[in-house]
Structure 1
């Protein structure tokens, strides 16, 4: 509680949940930016070593999406993630930025 003449601002201490959400957002943005940079590099150097390094990766996910058919409604669940060197570099850089915050 602040008194009328007291102009001090109470600093908000982030909750643990807020910190996790910020970390996830920063990691996802880092992966996206890294992937975009890798795709640009692969486009600039087609057929070269740089394209092989930055465009190849693994794609884990649900190959055919799982389908739940309830006759009234049909739901499909699926996801795919493209992980390559540039996305890993983006995630690493994002972790460094998060630690500096």
Structure 2
């Protein structure tokens, strides 16, 4: 019996999110690209004079990315 690694699961889930987002972008007018976007709409800027740091994070969850996660978890269960 193989022992399953948490890093493998995380890598597969991230790959599922990326591939699901890619598939959703291939069909922009289909139901697969329907989803919600959340995060910082305006970036947070810290200006120290010498150093300027910009923070921004936006996450878009679509039906295609959720399907990618489900498929990745099914593959993880099979491995």
TM-score (norm 2): 0.81
Residue 66 of structure 1 and its aligned partner are, at CA, apart by 1.3
Residue 31 of structure 1 and its aligned partner are, at CA, apart by 0.9
| 2:34 corresponding residue in structure 1 | 56
Greater strand content = 2
Of structures 1 and 2, the larger Rg is shown by 1
Residue 81 of structure 1 and its aligned partner are, at CA, apart by 1.3
Q: Which gives a bigger RCO, structure 1 or 2 (Cα 8 Å, sep 6+)? A: 2
Residue 74 of structure 1 and its aligned partner are, at CA, apart by 0.5
Cα shift readout 1:35-63 (whole Å, capped 9, x = no counterpart): 21122233xxxxxxxx2412221111111
| 2:7 corresponding residue in structure 1 | 21
> Where does structure 1 lack aligned partners over 5 or more consecutive residues?
1-12, 43-50
Distance in 2 between residues matched to 1:25 and 1:66, nearest whole Å: 29
TM-score (norm 1): 0.66
The alignment status of 1:36 with 2:17, answered yes or no, reads no
